Structures are given as C-alpha cells and as structure tokens.
Amino acid sequence: YSRLDTLIDINGYYLFQRECDSTFFSVVMFYPDGLFTIATGTDLTEVVKCFQDEDMKSVVCDYPLWGVYKIEENTIKTQAVRQEGIEIFTIFRDYKILPDEKLVNLNEYVYSENTKIGYLKNYPSFMENKCPVSATFYRLETKRSSSKCPYINKKWFKEKK
C-alpha cells in the first residue's frame, strides 16, 4: 500500500484545471493500492457519476484512464495507460502535495518517440505548469472500486506496477 492516504484525503476526487485553460478539467481519483484513475474534458457531470457509482454503465464510464502512482517526497508521480487499438502508450503527470494537503498539477507529458501513434507527436505536453492552481477536492460517499481497472490482470501491467 502506498501511504498516500496519510498525506492527502483519497476518499473522493480532485478536480484540476488543465494548465492555463480554464474550460478544460481533469478529474483524478487515487486508491491506497497505488492505482489511480483520471478523466479529462469540459463537461464532467457524467464522469463524476462514474467515479461515484460502481455499476453505472455508459460510454463515458469506460473512458477514464487508469494507471499507477508512486510518492517521491512531496510529489505524486503518475503513469496513466491509454490503449489505441493494439498500441499502448503512457501519459505522465506529476502532482505536488502542498502543506495544506492540496494538490497542484506540475506537468503532463508523453514520450512520443515510444509510440507508433502519429497524433501523439502533437500531444499538448507541458513540462512546467505555467498556471499552477490548486485542485479542488470533493468527498464521495461511495467510490468506484480500483478492481474496475481494465488492466489489473494483464501481465504487462502487473509487471510494471
């Protein structure tokens, strides 16, 4: 187990503004077993319902990315897996834990040279967030289980976890 729950509240989700774009948000939910899930967009109402309701069925509920995280000092380093057909690539994000238990998205990037997916060459990476706004935390009474991660039993995922 990661001990993240001793540093921040993980009984809900964090809502992040994407760098300087005030209309594009990310919803992030962490689990004590080192897994996390993230979804991005402009209308997050249904995404939030998916994070809350274990059994909700919709296309949107299948959309959130899953991945792993580790803690290094006051930073949560994440790797989210995205599958496009038979290709798999990883999106990296780092979150700084502030003294008041709030989080700030420090960066977001991919290594486009590690994938054959053409559009990733233009992925809107940022190595330093120019507008580091603290995320807003929303507590959930119920939370989607990390067992919903579609990669959890894949050999390639277990080996890297």
pTM, two decimals, is 0.86
39 CB neighbour count, 10 Å cutoff: 21
SS3 90: strand
Cα(44)–Cα(48) distance, integer angstroms: 6
Supply the DSSP string of 102-120, one letter for each residue: -EEEEEEE--GGG---GGG
> Which tokens sit at 21?
């774009």
Q: Cβ neighbours of residue 91 under 8 Å, at least 6 residues apart?
A: 65, 67, 79, 80, 82, 108, 109, 110, 123
Q: Over the stretch 82-120, which tens digit does the pLDDT of each residue have?
A: 877 777 788 899 999 999 999 999 988 887 666 666 656
> In this predicted structure, what is the pLDDT of residue 114?
65
- pLDDT (0 to 100) of residue 14: 94
Q: What is the pLDDT of residue 94?
A: 94
Is 104 in contact with 132 (CB distance < 8 Å)? yes
SS3 158: helix
Burial of 87-117, coded b for 16+ CB within 10 Å and e otherwise, reads ebbbbebbbbbeeeebbbbbbbebebeebeb
Q: What is the mean pLDDT of residues 137-158?
A: 85
Q: Which of 39-43, 84-88, 102-106, 149-153 has the lowest mean pLDDT?
A: 84-88
